Amino acid sequence: MDNRKSLDGQATGLMVVLCLIWGMQQVALKAVAADIAPMLQVALRSGVAALLVGVLMLWRGEAMSLKAWRPGVVVGLLFAVEYLMVGEALRHTSASRTVVFLYTAPIFAALGLHWKVPAERLGWLQWAGIALAFAGVATAFLGRDAQIPAASSADMLWGDLLALLGGVSWGATTVVIRTSSLSQTPPAQTLLYQLVGAFVLLLVAAVALGQSGFNPTPRAWTGLLFQTLVVSFASFLAWFWLLRNYLASRLGVFSFLTPVFGIVLGAVVLDEPLAARFIAGTLLVLGGILVVSGHAWLRTMAVGFRS
């Protein structure tokens, strides 16, 4: 029997805070990129957060099970690839564009689950949402505003593509977790697989790509503390707690808030320009995500309105 609850004030407030943190994540990575490359930031934050999760598991008396080690290795690899793409994307495009393309992940997860899980077959409303989201990607991705030089536009296009591939990898991670023995694995262990994978692979990648330099300024240390304690440790554990206690379909409705926060913070903190074509495409993407993630909620609202 599923004892998970519908959203209440506590869950709603926590979800808004989490979306704000996740929207700030890309902005914070780029803000200190001159002192420490985004890829190295994610590698170090993942390593420290992995240690913290391990200590938390010991404190809880939660033994690490190796029954799900195969899918665990896969999600660790996919998580690392996701942030490899994000780290490289932030070197070529803006944080606001990165967060929008990265958060197409629910669309790719829905497509993967449609293929792998009979109970997750997409209905016509979800297909319409996917079409809407891809129309938004095309609008934001392929169009170039006249005020952006051609050379800068080509570099931005490459960064946008990398961020989109990060979204594909994140969506694939969700599919693996939902369709493997990880679905029955304690959340902290699943998170540990991801953090260890990201730490090892991204650290190697940062060294290999010449992105291992670290200028220990106060800004760099502040960014690392935020990424480690707030993003990789506290926010992910809070998210897993919400998933254990509340209906995932209701929580998913909030996913569109993260790109909104990312765009606003990118403009305010980093002074990133917001081109009209990008805003138009973003609205289409967010509308598609809302339809795909919140289709059950939307149907319930429609039924209630008709009655």
> Residue 4 pLDDT > 70, yes or no?
no
Q: What is the pLDDT of residue 303?
A: 44
Structure confidence at residue 180 (pLDDT): 84
Q: Residue 163: pLDDT band by 50, 70, 90 thresholds?
A: very high
Q: In sequence order, which ranges of the chain are alpha helices (DSSP H)?
A: 9-31, 38-60, 69-89, 95-102, 105-116, 124-142, 150-179, 187-208, 218-225, 236-245, 248-252, 257-269, 276-293, 295-306
pLDDT for position 297: 53
List of residues 6+ apart from 84 with CB closer than 8 A: 39, 201, 202, 205
Confidence of residue 7 (pLDDT cuts 50, 70, 90): low
Whole-number mean pLDDT of the chain? 83
Band the pLDDT of 11: cuts 50, 70, 90.
confident
Q: Specify whether the CB–CB gap between 97 and 163 falls below 8 A.
A: yes
Tell me how crowded residue 54 is: count the other CB atoms within 10 A of its CB: 16
φ, ψ for residue 246, nearest 5 deg:
-130, 160
Query: For the CA atoms of the chain, what is the radius of gyration?
Result: 19
197-225 pLDDT tens trace:
999 999 999 999 999 999 999 999 999 99
Tens of pLDDT, residue by residue over 260-306, are 888 888 888 888 887 788 888 888 888 887 777 766 555 554 444 44
Q: Which residue has the higher pLDDT, 125 or 48?
A: 48
Mean pLDDT of 240-268: 76
Residue 155 has pLDDT above 70, yes or no: yes
| pLDDT exceeds 90 at position 42 | yes
Quote the pLDDT of residue 1: 47
Ramachandran assignment for 64, one of left (phi > 0), alpha (psi -120 to 50 degrees), beta (any other): beta
Please provide the size of the chain in residues: 307
Look at phi and psi of residue 244 and say left if phi exceeds 0, alpha if psi is from -120 to 50, else beta.
alpha
Of 65 and 303, more confident:
65
Site of tokens 């919400």: 242
The residues facing 246 across adjacent strands are: 5
> If you average pLDDT over residues 59-81, what whole number do you get?
88
